[in-house]
Amino acid sequence: MTIKTKVSICLPTCDRPELLVRCIESCLMQTHADIEIVIGDDSRDDRTAQLIATRYRDDARIAYRRNVPALGQARNVASLFERASGDKILLIHDDDYLLGHCLERLLAQWERYPDLEVAFGDQYETDHLGHVDHAASQRMNAAYHRTADAAGLQALPGRTGIVQMFPNNGWLADAALVKRIGYEERYGTCCDYVFGTLLCLAAQRVCYVNEYVSCYRMTDVSVSQATRRTINASSISAWHFLKGLTLPRELEPARKLAYRRLVPIVVSLLARNHEARAGLQLALGNLYAYRFGFSARLYYHLLMIWKASRHGRQEPVALLGRKDEQPVDTSRTRMP
């Protein structure tokens, strides 16, 4: 079955040709050969276009397009999904890369479960140069609930997305389902998390493979790193999205588990940005995220909030009650 399956590897890129080569080469070296690499380039200069023309001009597997004007993260990814012609779609960001057996291992799950819709595995964490940090990789996967005892078909597929078990890229899914879910620009830097959550909520069969299949590169130039200490941070967007999500009762524990991770991050961000009242409201309203006061992190954040309250500022922007916040229809960047 895997031999007859065409996979579209969707690769958004922007101003990083020096990292892009490693990513493309990892795609071309897959042990599963029936692929196309669909590239959407939002770069501000011609370096990436020149790279593709020089190095990959004669490779029929690569479908490159320069976006003029640039589309932005979400619309670029959405356009790649639309252009994809394969039976399955895999997303990989330009600063990350795949292990050689990635597609083979993930596609093998469809042989075990013919009605499968989504499969994903573990990610290595690497430094800027691509060197794997094994200890950090184990911690990262464990933090996102990717452990040996969780391997196999997921009893509650939607939970996989809600608690961030589903990775930001390196996953494989049925193309029809991916195209139905799509990427939405309104979620900003949080669009990866929103997509993964909605994809898993829509899927009936999701499989986690307890094996490394891709590499997540830590850089200082990603969208999430550039905004991580600001009000535009992906964690705040994720908080709003998750709070407005309509879920069945059996998935409410997953929402609470996700809050346990998100709440302290959002409280810290609110305090850093002088939103003391909103930060205090969120912390006191979700004390379980701080082990009901048995976490030193709570008192550190309360100190941050106190300092923010003494800082001269304008009226708060009510980040925890935005007028544009709407419930999310579950039928249809990178998180920290």
CATH number at residue 108: 3.90.550.10
Residues 215 and 264 in one domain: no
> Looking at the predicted structure, is the pLDDT value of residue 317 above 60?
no
**Cα angle at 202 between 196 and 206, to 5 degrees?**
70
Give the pLDDT score at 209.
Answer: 98
- Range in 37-41, 91-95, 188-192, 267-271 the model is least confident about: 188-192
For the stretch 174-197, pLDDT in tens is 999 999 999 988 888 899 999 999
Q: What is the pTM of this model?
A: 0.87
Residues 14 and 132 in one domain: yes
Residues 185 and 295 in one domain: no
> Is 64 inside any structural domain?
yes
> Is 21 inside any structural domain?
yes
Q: Which of 274, 285, 268, 266 is nearest to 317 (CA)?
A: 274
Count of residues for the chain?
Answer: 336
| Mode of pairing for the β-strands spanning 97-98 and 172-174 | unpaired
Residues 52 and 196 in one domain: yes
Query: How is residue 13 written in tokens?
Result: 């890129």
For the stretch 285-311, pLDDT in tens is 999 999 998 999 999 999 999 999 887
Residues 64 and 143 in one domain: yes
> Is 329 inside any structural domain?
no
Residues 24 and 62 in one domain: yes
What is the tally of structural domains in the chain? 2
DSSP state string for 234-286? HHHHHHHHHHTB---GGGHHHHHHHHHHHHHHHHHHHHHTT-HHHHHHHHHHT
Domain-ending residue, one of 221, 247, 272 = 221
Residues 11 and 152 in one domain: yes
- 69 three-state secondary structure: coil
Residues 198 and 289 in one domain: no
Domain-ending residue, one of 162, 196, 221 = 221
Residues 51 and 167 in one domain: yes
State the average pLDDT for the chain: 89
Instruction: For residue 83, give its domain range.
Output: 2-221
> Is 227 inside any structural domain?
no
Residues 196 and 294 in one domain: no
**CA–CA separation, 50 and 6 (whole Å):** 27
Domain-ending residue, one of 173, 194, 221 = 221
> Is 182 inside any structural domain?
yes
